[in-house]
Amino acid sequence: MRKITLPLVALVAVALAVSLAGPAFGGAHVTGSASTLKTAKKALRTAKAAKRLAKRALADGGTQGPQGPAGKDGKNGTNGTNGTNGTNGAQGPAGPTASGGASIDYQTGPNEKILSSSDVRAVGIGTSGTGPINITVRSRLIATAMVDLRERTAETTQGAPPQASCHLEYAHGNNPFTRMGEGEPTVFLSGALNDFKQVGVTGYADVDPGSYDVRVMCRQPGGTGTLGVRQADITAVASGIS
């Protein structure tokens, strides 16, 4: 309030001085009497005092005070609307693939592979199945095999027909074969001569770059009579994964 009050006081003083000086210095009836001179001097002193008062008021305006504390945060505004969905990126190139496979038809009984309680390779050459599958990047190796089995002889014990089980194996380079997956489908034949059954197996394994071989192995885990492999097929495909 001081900045406003003092200048007002000064202005009032100046106005008073001017009002007093008016009759002394202006007008048509100026005389040289002592009372007029006295009034003029008084007005002059009043004007000087008003001037000093005005200067003091301006000088005493003071420096700017410190900044006041910050006000409280306002309430959060409402959420804006969601932007539009971006466009789908272009599809990346397909990962490298590799594959291998083998197929055989023994045609007649004498050429069939006879099953026993130990694993017998159903198709392939030597210990191999699909042959080398050369993989250049980390990949998922997926294999499928179908094996046709025939009862070479009828069951020798009534109510004990032969059984057959098959599974997949894979090997990296010259390393030993490892079972692919945990499943081993088992079929029961009828026990009659020349009865046919088909066993299907599938599996996969995630592998590092290298050369791989996949094979299907079958056995006769129980029952009586003799089983042979009449036909067999195996296919393996490797596709790159991240």
Tell me: do 135 and 189 sit in the same domain.
yes
Q: Are residues 226 and 172 in the same domain?
A: yes
Tell me if 173 is assigned to some domain: yes
Instruction: List the CATH number of the domain containing 218.
Output: 2.60.120.760
147 beta partners: 199, 232
pLDDT value at residue 17: 46
The whole-number pLDDT of residue 60 equals 62
Residue-level pLDDT at 20: 47
Among 6-15, 64-73, 112-121, 163-172, which is the least confidently predicted range? Answer: 6-15
- For the chain, first and last CA: distance in Å? 76
pLDDT exceeds cutoff 60 at 1: no
Residues 105 and 38 grouped into a single domain: no
Return the C-alpha torsion angle 92, 93, 95, 97, nearest 10.
150
Domain boundary among 59, 75, 106: 59
- With cut-offs at 50, 70 and 90, classify the pLDDT of residue 218: very high
Of residues 13 and 91, more confidently modeled: 91
Q: Same domain for 45 and 136?
A: no
Q: Is residue 86 part of a domain?
A: no
**Is 114 in the same domain as 209?**
yes
Does the structure show a pLDDT above 80 at 69? Answer: yes
Of the candidates 13, 12, 23, 7, the residue with the CA atom closest to the CA atom of residue 47: 13
Domain residue limits at 227: 97-240
Question: Do 120 and 197 belong to one domain?
Answer: yes
Q: State how far the Cα of 67 lies from the Cα of 42, in Å rounded to an integer.
A: 46
Same domain assignment for residues 120 and 210: yes
**147 and 198 in contact (C-beta within 8 Å)?**
yes
Q: Average pLDDT of 169-190?
A: 93
Count how many domains the chain has.
2
